[in-house]
Amino acid sequence: MKKVQEKIFLFLIFSFLFYTAQAQNEAAGSGVKLFFPGYANWNTIEEGKELVFTLRAAGGTGSHYTFAITQGKQDGMDFDTSGYFAWKPEYNFVDRLNKEKSIQVIFEARNDKGESASQTVEFKVKHVNQPPTIGDMKTWYVGYNTPNKYVINPGMVKDEDNDPIVFVPTDNMPEGMQLNAQGEFTWKPSLTQFNALKAKAMYIDFIVEDQPGKLQNKGRIRIEATQQDLPPEITIVPKETFIKSRENSPIDIRFYIADPNGDDDVTAFDFISASSSIPKDALQKITTNRYEFIWKPGYDFVKDPNDSLSTQITFFALDKSQKRAELKVNFLILNTVDEQAKDLQLYTQYRVALVRAWDLLEQLKAKEQELKRAYKRAKKGKVHRSITNASLGAISGVAPVVIKPNSTAVTTVGGTAVATISTLEATEVIGRSTKDIIERLNYIIEKKNELQTKGDIFARKYALKSSRNSKDYTKDLDDFVALLNLKGMVALELDASWENKKQATDKAIKATFKDFSPLEESTK
């Protein structure tokens, strides 16, 4: 023992010197650097074995470092701010069919100057086969001159690796007793055997063997002669009477009902709940003495603003003589956000904003075409008005006008004689101003282009479900919706009651904003 302690002490000294030397060599660098154990395959461990090391850091302008795991921390990992790491993977961490499982953990070191560095470490965990475990077996009460059957409670036999198991008989079984691979004993004791059993209880052994590893463990059952009517026995798997779960997470409990006077003596198994929202069909009968309780609390089980709700269920079994056995199970249900409903709500906001933008773009396009037609009519009207060319004073009369082919001058006679020369575009007395139309048209085009550009950016940036869950989504959505509130609606003569004749289909929106992602695509 003393030599083992000396070896451990020397190993710790060597590790400390190694870390210190390595840190000093790297400290001259400009940034913070992390130092993990330097021996080969240090990050490969086996189930059930503990990995312990101390993370070191050097470099930067600071002198004091704090450590943290920023991503990938597993249940059971112990890692404090000084860099001490300890982890012992459970025996069921690696699936027996895969033999090995890799996980990635991101470690970070930060000094007192705010400088930091991080590094990803891949841990490889190897599967280790474990023999089955056996709990306490209930007593087997047998009767004379009758076939007696005893089924080993599956809840008392467990394999940590979830390996298939078989039951193997031993040499100490009495004459006539049999045990099959499924764990079922059958025995019809003779008069001599029964009298001996009445005088003294006996024990029999059995073996549980996992497959294909063939690791074994031995169990024992006490056998007594039945003498009185005993109440049923309820076994729960897993052996927990306090269950903590979240809304919308299924709860699965198995029950095994046994009666010392024979399993056929049990007449009923049911439950009474303090909550009316737990359905009766949650308890299902699998076999004569096996039941399963499957319950999935809905998102509305815990009422807001509560963060949890406690409830109790009493399970009970009755035998033919009305003897009763009870088992109370307490539940703590935590309030949970309905992610699917939340994602649907965020998508609806995303799509409604783009529909409004698409609808406004269609109205702006229609208004643009209307102003272009008005501009053409105004230009044409200016030519005709220049030919007539009313004076700003009173008009006493207009003489007939004759225009010669290819003429560049037209003369009219009235209260005031005016000669319109060349382009005939000097007057805007009657009708609408082309300058006003052009100003409105330019604003419409400018707003349309701005709306198209920002709509494309919004549709692309929040096309995926994950991006809509980001902290910037609400702000960007508000900014985009604010863009739809045009200033100068009256000046632009946009009709507030305007209705789009086109349907706002996903195809129509995608044709305008090419990066728009419909629901079935954005949730992938």
Helix (H) or strand (E) holding 22, with range, is: helix 2-26
Contact criterion met (CB below 8 Å) for 312 and 329? yes
Q: How far is CA 445 from CA 279, 371, 450, 502, 509, in A?
A: 61, 11, 9, 21, 20
Contact criterion met (CB below 8 Å) for 146 and 230? no
Q: What is the pLDDT of residue 168?
A: 95
Helices 434-461/473-483 angle, 10° precision:
160
Tell me how far apart the alpha carbons of residues 464 and 462 are, in angstroms, rounded to a whole number: 5
pLDDT tens for 180-225 read 999 999 999 988 898 899 889 999 999 999 988 899 999 999 999 8
Peptide bond preceding 212 in cis form (omega within 30 of 0): yes
Give the HSE-up count for residue 333: Cα atoms under 13 Å, Cβ half-sphere.
26
Contact criterion met (CB below 8 Å) for 426 and 386? yes
> DSSP 3-state assignment of 217?
strand
Residues in the chain with pLDDT < 50? 4, 16-30, 383-431, 524
Residues 6+ apart with CB under 8 A from 111: 32, 57, 60, 61, 62, 63, 64, 65, 66
- Pair type for strands 84-87 and 100-111: unpaired
Q: How far is CA 171 from CA 104, 197, 223, 336, in A?
A: 50, 18, 16, 55
Contact criterion met (CB below 8 Å) for 36 and 50? no
Q: What is the CA radius of gyration of the chain?
A: 43
pTM for this prediction: 0.42
Q: What is the pLDDT of residue 162?
A: 80
- Chain-centroid distance of CA 237 in Å reads 27
Helices 434-461/339-388 angle, 10° precision:
160
Tell me how far apart the alpha carbons of residues 280 and 332 are, in angstroms, rounded to a whole number: 19
**Torsion angle of C-alpha atoms 245, 250, 251, 252, degrees rounded to 10:** -150
Tell me how far apart the alpha carbons of residues 329 and 345 are, in angstroms, rounded to a whole number: 36
Q: What is the pLDDT of residue 6?
A: 59
Contact criterion met (CB below 8 Å) for 236 and 253? yes
Contact criterion met (CB below 8 Å) for 143 and 223? no
Q: What is the pLDDT of residue 260?
A: 66
Sign of CA dihedral 423, 424, 427, 431: negative
Q: What is the DSSP letter of 477?
A: H
Residues 6+ apart with CB under 8 A from 475: none
Q: What is the pLDDT of residue 417?
A: 36
